[in-house]
């Protein structure tokens, strides 16, 4: 018999897409089943797995009445999450990827923060799990954030706080994301789900502590050919949609801030492509940068852009090759001299 804590007023639905993860599912599921917050609905969505994952899912359902299992044809991560959303009955929604795992008090802490601060969503930091090391951070503080404060950190970053677009580092109140779905057959699917949720929230809370263990398969920022294709097909269009969404749902000024940081992102992608000697990707990124020139000229003259970033963009538009050389010199000469 599962004991319920008197402070656990609300059911939390956790949606866990499962696809050929027989090696990792036990680690993930044990971290969920042992959560100190017990009032959970755990929805395992078997997305057409061909290994022993489906049988494992059924075993967990037999062992714990909180576990529900969906078996479906393979449709990808977004489709699996959407299938889970259709049957989720919790007042709060959380997501866990089945090759990752979570701290045992993750949902107790995030739920308590939501209740204490009247927040519609909670955001936490995460551990980056590499093969040879774990990267973490945070000072344990709990910070209530208004919508605009949340968006500014999400869009432009922060010296201390880490607010990423991943849905697995968040706990959403159900009414905030009601009717929202993930785009089927696309990668970087979290960008718009998170952006829309942030735009609609009135009050959020940030926990500056790592509760989620995010497993990374590779090191560094250099992307392979397939990842570049995903970037142009999915990620960049989603970031453009992200800007439009913020402009429509929040304000022109916040949309301009998002546009500015999108330009910065493209410059980082360009240097990655050049470092990987991927000339085609680099050329396409130059086209992406120039595509918004008139709109970005307005934003870069609006007073929200640093002098250094103005110079960097102007140099890039004049000569991408010269810009690359300057970045190379700066990283190898100026940066070491400062340390």
Break the chain into its structural domains and give their ranges.
12-215, 225-338
* pLDDT of 1: 36
- pTM confidence score: 0.91
Alpha-carbon separation of residue 95 from 85, 151, 196, 307 (angstroms):
10, 21, 16, 40
* pLDDT of 171: 98
3-class state of residue 227 by DSSP:
helix
Residue from 215, 174, 180 nearest 196 by CA: 180
DSSP secondary structure code for residue 276 in this structure: T
DSSP secondary structure code for residue 105 in this structure: T
HSE-CB for 211 with a 13 A CA cutoff: 26
Q: How many angstroms from the chain centroid is the CA of residue 229?
A: 19
Over the chain (339 residues), the average pLDDT of each successive run of 10 is: 60 97 96 98 97 97 98 95 97 97 98 98 96 93 98 95 95 96 88 97 98 75 64 94 97 97 95 91 94 93 92 94 87 58
DSSP secondary structure code for residue 51 in this structure: S
* pLDDT of 125: 97
**CATH class assigned to 12-215:** alpha beta
Q: How many residues in total does the chain contain?
A: 339
CA 250-166-148 angle, 5° bins: 25
How many whole angstroms separate alpha carbon 189 and alpha carbon 194? Answer: 9
Contact, 84 vs 43, CB < 8 A?
yes
* pLDDT of 337: 55
* pLDDT of 290: 93
> Phi and psi of 250, rounded to 5°?
-120, -75
């Amino acid at each position: 018999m599962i004991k319920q804590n008197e402070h656990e007023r609300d059911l939390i639905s956790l949606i866990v897409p499962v696809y050929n993860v027989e090696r990792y599912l036990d680690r993930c599921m044990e971290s969920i089943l042992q959560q100190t917050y017990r009032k959970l609905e755990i929805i395992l969505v078997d997305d057409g797995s061909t290994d022993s994952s489906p049988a494992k899912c059924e075993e967990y359902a037999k062992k714990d009445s909180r576990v529900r299992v969906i078996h479906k044809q393979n449709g990808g991560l977004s489709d699996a999450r959407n299938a889970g959303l259709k049957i989720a009955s919790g007042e709060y929604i959380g997501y866990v990827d089945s090759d990752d795992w979570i701290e045992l008090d993750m949902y107790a802490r995030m739920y308590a923060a939501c209740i204490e601060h009247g927040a519609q969503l909670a955001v936490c930091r995460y551990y980056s799990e590499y093969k040879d090391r774990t990267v973490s951070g945070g000072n344990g503080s709990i910070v209530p954030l208004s919508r605009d404060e949340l968006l500014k950190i999400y869009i432009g970053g922060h010296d201390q706080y880490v607010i990423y677009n991943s849905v697995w580092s968040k706990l959403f109140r159900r009414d905030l994301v009601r009717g929202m779905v993930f785009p089927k057959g696309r990668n970087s699917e979290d960008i718009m789900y998170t952006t829309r949720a942030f735009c609609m929230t009135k009050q959020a809370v940030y926990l500056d502590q790592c509760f989620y263990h995010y497993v990374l398969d590779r090191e560094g920022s250099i992307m392979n050919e397939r990842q570049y294709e995903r970037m142009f097909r999915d990620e960049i269009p989603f970031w453009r949609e992200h800007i439009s969404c913020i402009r429509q749902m929040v304000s022109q000024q916040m949309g301009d801030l998002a546009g500015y940081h999108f330009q910065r992102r493209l410059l980082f992608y360009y240097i990655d492509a050049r470092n990987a000697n991927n000339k085609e990707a680099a050329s396409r990124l130059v086209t992406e940068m120039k595509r918004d020139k008139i709109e970005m000229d307005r934003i870069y003259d609006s007073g929200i852009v640093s002098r250094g970033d103005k110079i960097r963009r102007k140099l890039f538009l004049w000569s991408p090759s010269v810009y690359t050389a300057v970045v190379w010199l700066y990283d190898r000469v100026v940066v070491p001299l400062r340390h």
